[in-house]
Structure 1
Amino acid sequence: MIDQQRLRPIEILLVEDSPSDANLTIRGFENAKITNHLHWVEDGETAMDYLYQQGEFVNTKRPDLILLDLNLPGMDGREVLTQIKSDTNLKLIPVVILTTSNDEQDVLRSYNLNANCYVTKPIDIYQFIQVVHLIKDFWLTTVTLPSET
């Protein structure tokens, strides 16, 4: 039986304030063997507008996966994660924390806020690309994502 989810593009929301990290992540997902639409926003407030389909995002599709940096200007990633996971309409969207922080407190707090996984960005560009490919392989080909409710 064909998985109906795989017949449509996977919608990904990347919340990342670093243009260089965003570019590497976007390029990594562009090379995916599964069709995906990756949408990039640079801060927490814009991410929430996107998720609530407000302003310029009125006609956007709900993401199947969120890649979230913790260290964002304004509303940081921890606040975004808290809001997502406390909202009954958003809480089932898997959230992958993708951040430079390897601080144990950040890891523990993210999991306490119900992050689905925590990945520390490597400093080396080639390792960073490899991490993006591993995320892509796991989240887009291995797991079954919840369908929009």
Structure 2
Amino acid sequence: MQKKLTILLIEDDQIEIMKFNRILSKLNSIHNVIEANNGEEALEILSDRDNLPSIILLDLNMPKINGIEFLKILKNDEVLKYLPTVVLTTSSNQKDMLECYKIGIAGYIVKPLKYEDYQSKLVKVLSYWSANELITV
């Protein structure tokens, strides 16, 4: 049985947010989703240390604070650095990928163009993380 996750989805594209939520709804997901439109909003959400998410799904290409800048801030924080962060992006740029892994991400998923492929990847990611023993800080 899957554990209920609280997912912080950091994504600036409203169509991607709708697609993500549609997939979760279609799957009758038990997970709770908190949305942030950029890194700045996400940091504000994460400032409430009593209600931290189980996992962060992060887009890289965003206004204000991009994904890599956000990761650097996150991983330099003594509490937030333990939150599993999976990059969910359209960028298959090897330089971006390497930089993200150097900073300390838990995974890097390139969003496929086909809806069914996106759904399949999302199901696998959420199944994996809901089966993990996650640290609650």
With the length of structure 1 as denominator, give the TM-score of the two structures. Answer: 0.83
1:38 paired with 2:33, answer yes
Identity value in percent: 29
Alignment counterpart, residue 125 of structure 1, candidates 83, 102, 115:
115
Q: CA RMSD in A?
A: 2.1
* Number of the residue aligned with 1:56: none
Q: Deviations over 1:29-73 (max 9, x none)?
A: 3355663211111111101101113xxxxx972101000000011
Unaligned runs of at least 5 residues, structure 2:
none
Q: Which runs of 4+ in 1 moved over 6 A?
A: none
Give how far 1:18 is off. Answer: 1.0
Is 1:143 aligned to 2:132, yes or no? yes
Q: Which residue of the partner structure matches residue 51 of structure 2?
A: 61
Distance 1:47 1:132, change over 3 A: same
State the 1:133 CA deviation. 1.1
Q: Secondary structure at the match of 1:38?
A: strand
Gaps of at least 5 residues in structure 1 are 54-58
What is the DSSP-based 3-state SS (H/G/I as helix, E as strand, rest coil) of the residue aligned with 2:105? coil
Tell me the matched-pair count. Answer: 137
Map 1:1-149 to 2 at 5 A.
Answer: 6=3, 9-31=4-26, 35-53=30-48, 61-140=51-130, 142-147=131-136, 149=137
Q: Is the 8 A contact 1:32 1:136 kept in 2?
A: no
